[in-house]
Amino acid sequence: MNKKFALSLGLFLTAITTCFGIEIPRPEYPRPQFERVDWMNLNGTWSYEFDFSKSGIERSLFTNEGFGKTILVPFCPESPLSGVNHKDFIDAMWYQRKLSIPEAWAGKRILLNFGGVDYKSTIYINGQQAFVHYGGSSSFSVDITSYVTPGSTDNLVVYVEDDLRSGLQTSGKQSHRLHSYSCLYTRVTGIWQTVWLEAVSKGGLKSCSITPDLDNKQFVFEPVFYDLDQESSLKIRILDNGKEVFSQTTPAGNSSFIIGKLKNIKTWSPESPFLYDIEFSVLNSKGQTIDKVNSYAGMRKAELRGKTFYLNNKPYYQRLVLDQGYYPDGQWTAPDDTQLRRDIELGKEAGFNGARLHQKVFEPRYFYWADKLGYLTWGESASWGVNWTDPVAARNMISEWEECIHRDYNAPSLIAWSPLNETWMEDMDGQRARLTNDLYFMTKRIDRTRPVITVSGGYHAGFTDIYAEHTYVQDPVLLYKQLAPNKEGYPYVFRPDQSAPYKGEAYMVDEFGGIQWIKEMKLPEVNDQKEFWGYGEPPKTLEEFYKRLEEQVNVILSLDHITGFCYTQIVDVELEKNGIYTYDRNKKFDRSRIYKIFTKSREQAKKEVKKMLSERDIPKEKSK
């Protein structure tokens, strides 16, 4: 794309948004569980320059006050919505825009927040380096108070490095080849989530963990402050549909634990996703509010008892769908907030009670809608791309994953953590087991309230709370033979020679199905239809698709040792045409029929499997 056209396209996009009364893309507050009034969205038209030779530092591009091309933030340059649509590798690039800090923010701490920048980002204010961050999935905040002057205009430059093929960084499903192939898709470079400014009192609230304690009918709050004033205090209010049900004011302190006791509790679940509103107010010695944060919380309990998953002290069967969070026009970035909500609604309409968020750390707005609508989620890192034997790669992944856990800890919909997906490397020197165990124990230290699926599928190593396997066997009888416990009572393990032994953990099949079905071609992802794929031979008719799907789901529901499933997948993604919906979120199947399959009772599934096995002369002693 030439310079003149890129500039024109960027100006055109800005003009269009202004014309329709939308000044910037993704204008909503990006962090719904920690929301302030004094903030400024920085999405919109920025200038940029690619730096393929990585010579920009030597050329002092960090002092540049306007590059020759424009990009629409927060969309990555690989996406059509960015106005750039560059599909080749981008090892480095520069962003620039002006900052106009309101004069009213004088005397406050001024924070520059980034929802997500892939991968290494260096922040410059007026030519001075202010911050360096590693991690393409984790959010970060830069205190720029000492670099800017309220009431004046300052220059922001962001330098991004994204060496996808280095093996030192997480990349998720981004393709390591020029083009997309198999289950690896279009790359994501640079800024891909909202950038915003906010003004905070010097003694304001930095964060607050909220832990629901269902059995004791209380929330446990753990606040962290910026600069503590000996005479400041924190007031916490809990509201039920606007009615105050708890209020307490306590001296501000980073060692405080505030117990929000409730008389009559309302629980959160997919069937009844009730949320309490939370208000945090930091007060000075005169009782005046110097910082206010709005939040919310759900009273729910997610745990394992033996081999069974419990939600709110009742056995709960997880019927999940794989969601990779890709969009044809935005790649990792949803074009607007309504699309995030719609993705969850599509999952619920298909009969799923949640999603395994796959090889991508989803943005906080997605969790907000999952919380509001009632939709279970598994949080997973973008772990693919990491070279296990390299200590720098391990360090990068551990620190990034830690930031992700802290950021999303408060989401009631998030009921499990899964740091790794399908690890395949043979453990020749113990590094795979070491990193796996480091991730497991770190996750448990930060969050003891949720189960951890250390490795989903592939080669298992070390400790895990749920033993999760993948299978794409298409024939239901063969699938039954594979998944039914063996003579010793042990479940299927893909590679026992490369995996830690099964020790009686809860067991899930968290990838199966993946049945290809192409309804129609609307999106020009590739020119050759033969490149599209799904698992197994595609069904010849729509009726054959329904039959295969139902029989596979029946098999998994019928086996008592399986505590939940995850079907692949919610929408088609680029070459992969095995979604319940098309890539552009349109209908592929009879929704009521799909819904009945995925919501079928386990008792009914057992009857149908028993009948199937008898008709095909399969021994029935394994059938539960």
pLDDT digits (tens, 9 = 90+) for 43-52: 999 999 999 9
- Amino acid 428: pLDDT: 61
> Is pLDDT of 66 > 90?
yes
Task: Please name the fold of domain 3-191.
Answer: Jelly Rolls (2.60.120)
Report the DSSP pairing between strands 289-297 and 302-305: unpaired
pTM: 0.93
- Cα–Cα distance list, 469 to 321, 453, 457, 495, 550 (Å): 15, 10, 4, 10, 20
- Amino acid 599: pLDDT: 98
pLDDT digits (tens, 9 = 90+) for 377-393: 999 999 999 988 899 99
Task: Please name the fold of domain 302-615.
Answer: TIM Barrel (3.20.20)
pLDDT band at residue 230 using 50, 70 and 90 as cut-offs: confident
Answer positive or negative: Cα dihedral of 224, 226, 230, 233.
negative
pLDDT digits (tens, 9 = 90+) for 305-317: 999 999 999 999 9
> Is pLDDT of 1 > 70?
no
Q: Looking at 374-430, list the stretches that DSSP marks H as alpha helix, in order from N- to C-terminal side.
A: 391-408
- Amino acid 433: pLDDT: 86
- Amino acid 619: pLDDT: 59
> Is pLDDT of 7 > 80?
no
| Letter string b/e over residues 227-250, b meaning 16 or more CB atoms within 10 A of that residue's CB | eebeebbbbbbbebeeeebbeeee
In a 10 Å sphere around its CB, with 0-12 CB exposed, 13-18 middle and 19+ buried, how is residue 529 labelled?
exposed
Instruction: Give the residue extent of every domain in the chain.
Output: 3-191, 215-297, 302-615
Angle 542-558/591-598 helices, nearest 10 degrees? 20
pLDDT band at residue 430 using 50, 70 and 90 as cut-offs: confident
Q: Specify whether domain 215-297 bears CATH 3.30.830.10.
A: no
d(C-alpha 560, C-alpha 558), whole Å: 6
